Amino acid sequence: MNVELHIKTGFKNNKTYLETGYCTQPFKIANITEDKTKGDLQLMLMNASPGILDNDNYNIKIELSEYSSLELKTQSYQRLFTMHNGATQYFEAHLANYSTFIYMPHPLVPHELSNYSTKNRIYLQKYCTLLWSDILTCGRKLNGEAFKFTKLHSLTEIYFNNRLMIKENLFLEPNLINLNAIGQLENYSHQASLIYVNGTINVNDFSEKINVYLSKQHNIVFGISELQLNGLIVRVLGQKAEQLYDCLKMIALILET
C-alpha cells in the first residue's frame, strides 16, 4: 500500500495554522492544540492501520512557513509486522526562516522477520528550531522475539542552506551483525537518539542539565555531543522502550526552559 501525507503550515496574526493537510488511508490528521492563544500548532498523526505491513510505502512531506511552529505527535507505538519483501518510509521536512518543528514519535517495535527502512531528510534555513527523536527497539522481547527481525535501517540527514550538516545512520541486521559486540548495543536492547538544533540561543548551555538528569536514571548509558550546527545530539541505550521515551520527553522539557 502506498500512503501519502502532506502538511503545510501558514502563519498569520502571530498564530500558526494548517494551510494544507492532505493524507491517504490509513492516515488521519487531528488538530489537538490545547491553548489556542499561543502561536504554535499541535497535530496528531492518527493511523487506522495496526502497524506497517509488508510492501507498505509511506511518503511524508512537511513544509513550515516563516515563523510558524508545528509539533507533530504520534498516536501509539509503531509496529512493524512480519514481512517477505519489506516496507519503506520517506520523510521530508522543509523549515523556513524562524520556524520550529518538533517530532518525537513513539518507539518502533519490529516483529519477527520484519524488514523496514526509513529515510529522513530535513532542510533548515536561518534561525530554525528542530527537535527530532527516534527510538528503535529489539522487538517484542517478552514474546521471545528479541532481535528476530530481518533488518531495521533508519537514515536521517539534516541540511542547512542545502548543505548536509548532520547524518545519523542506524542499521541493525541481527543475522549478519553481532549486536552485543563492542561498538554495537553491548547487551542493551533499545536505543534512542534526540537531535536538537536552535539557531537563536546557545543550546550547549543545556548539556550539563541533560547530563545531570540522565545520570540519575537507572539501567541506561548515554552520551551527549555538540553538533556542527548550533545544537546537540543525545544517544541513550537501555532495556525498556517506555523508559527511553520518558527520558526523551523530559529532555524536551529541559530544552524548553
Per-residue pLDDT of the chain (257 residues; tens, 9 = 90+): 899 999 999 999 999 999 999 999 999 999 999 887 788 999 999 999 889 999 999 999 999 999 999 999 999 999 999 999 999 999 999 999 999 999 999 999 999 999 999 999 999 999 999 999 999 999 998 888 899 999 999 999 999 999 999 999 999 999 988 888 888 888 899 999 999 999 888 887 899 999 999 999 999 999 999 998 899 999 999 999 999 999 999 999 999 87
Distances (CA, A) of 50 to 47, 58, 192: 8, 14, 23
209 — phi, psi (to 5°)? -65, -45
Confidence (pLDDT) at 193? 96
**Cis, peptide link before residue 50, omega less than 30° from 0:** no
Do the beta carbons of residue 99 and residue 66 sit within 8 Å? yes
Q: What is the pTM of this model?
A: 0.94
CA atoms in the 13 A half-sphere facing the CB of 188 = 23
Give the residue from 54, 70, 74, 81 showing the smallest Cα distance to 8: 70
Give the residue from 199, 205, 255, 191 showing the smallest Cα distance to 229: 199
Strand partners, 92: 61, 121
Confidence (pLDDT) at 138? 92
203 — phi, psi (to 5°)? -70, -20
Sign, Cα dihedral of 119, 125, 126, 131: negative
Confidence (pLDDT) at 38? 82
